[in-house]
Amino acid sequence: MCQLCYKDNKETLCLPFNISEDLVLTLLIYVDSQEELLRINHLIPIITNYFQLAEPVLQTKILMSELHKTTLIDPMTELHNRRFLDNYLENEITKHQNFSIMLVDIDLFKQVNDTYGHNIGDNVIKSVAEVLTNNIKGSDYAIRFGGEEFLLIAFNTSKEDAVKIANNIRNEFAAKIFKTDKKTFTKTLSVGISYFPVDSSSPWQCVKFADLALYVAKKNGRNQVISFEAEMYSDISI
């Protein structure tokens, strides 16, 4: 017997309804006696008719939910996309007390496309997405921010922990070997980090500060992790 349908000292009625080719909705009804089960059995035609009438509405809701999901996911990497970030930063993220924002960028990525072609470039981007996913908690977010740039939101992380996560990402990616028809090559990442609410009480300002720290990492030679510092903001040479 199906374990979902079995419950001690209960009579069970299991009614499956095919909502679509990919979805079956199962209604489980538990009652205390055979008499009550008999009464429910007489209601099955009414219940079935209700679900048949509701089927188009349920199909529409499922379709709209899937369409909404696809607009928030980057198809190449299967990470969240910039549209998701825009919605999340506006509506949800400030419910959390603290988090780190990491901007991750592939160093000299244009050289990959120019030298090996866009197919190889796509493989490099997918590899970054895989590394990011491997190094974050289930509650964190990895987002394709644009092109070869990614954004991580890591909740309840100290500055030390955030730097450690970023360096783990950087080292794991640097160890990957990419193959082409003629040769192999490796690539590196640079990472800029800011902290909410330490650096700013505005999530978008934290994104800007992480971007500034990333710029400093690039300027200082790439393949490194830099945390935002207040003097970066006032340094007109940057």
Query: Domain of 100: which CATH number?
Result: 3.30.70.270
Mean predicted confidence (pLDDT) in 201-219 = 94
Q: In whole angstroms, what is the distance from residue 131 CA to residue 176 CA?
A: 10
144 and 199 together in one domain? yes
Q: Is residue 204 part of a domain?
A: yes
How many CB atoms sit inside 10 A of residue 182's CB? 6
Write out the two tokens for 120.
């190889």
Q: What is the pTM of this model?
A: 0.71
Under 8 Å between Cβ of 14 and 6: no
Residues spanned by the domain of 198: 82-234
Q: In whole angstroms, what is the distance from residue 167 CA to residue 191 CA?
A: 8
E runs forming strands in 22-120? 24-31, 99-106
Choice between 92 and 170, residue whose per-residue pLDDT is larger:
170
Q: What's the total number of domains in the chain?
A: 2
Q: How confident is the model at residue 48 (pLDDT cuts 50, 70, 90)?
A: confident
pLDDT at res. 162: 96
Under 8 Å between Cβ of 14 and 37: no
What lies within 8 Å, CB to CB, of 154 at 6+ separation is 99, 100, 102, 136, 137, 140, 161, 162, 165
Under 8 Å between Cβ of 152 and 101: yes
How far apart are the two ends of the chain, measured CA to CA in Å? 69
118 and 176 together in one domain? yes
129 and 39 together in one domain? no
How many CB atoms sit inside 10 A of residue 81's CB? 19
142 and 163 together in one domain? yes
62 and 99 together in one domain? no
Q: What residues does 27 pair with on adjacent strands?
A: 15
Q: Is residue 2 part of a domain?
A: no
Q: Is residue 5 part of a domain?
A: no
For residue 172, count CB atoms less than 10 angstroms from its CB and return exposed for 0-12, middle for 13-18, buried for 19 or more.
middle
Mean predicted confidence (pLDDT) in 44-50 = 88
Mean predicted confidence (pLDDT) in 118-139 = 95
66 and 156 together in one domain? no
185 and 91 together in one domain? yes
Q: How do strand 225-227 and strand 189-196 relate by DSSP bridges?
A: parallel
27 and 112 together in one domain? no
Q: State the chain's mean pLDDT as an integer.
A: 87
Q: In whole angstroms, what is the distance from residue 206 CA to residue 144 CA?
A: 17
Under 8 Å between Cβ of 106 and 128: yes
Q: Which residues are catalytic?
A: 148
Under 8 Å between Cβ of 129 and 150: yes
Question: Does 65 have pLDDT greater than 80?
Answer: no
31 and 86 together in one domain? no
Mean predicted confidence (pLDDT) in 34-49 = 88
104 and 168 together in one domain? yes
Q: Which of 186, 192, 194, 193 has the alpha carbon at shortest distance from 218?
A: 192
Three-class DSSP category at 149: strand
Final residue in a domain of this structure, among 71, 93, 116: 71
191 and 157 together in one domain? yes
Q: Is residue 153 part of a domain?
A: yes
Q: Is residue 4 part of a domain?
A: no
137 and 193 together in one domain? yes
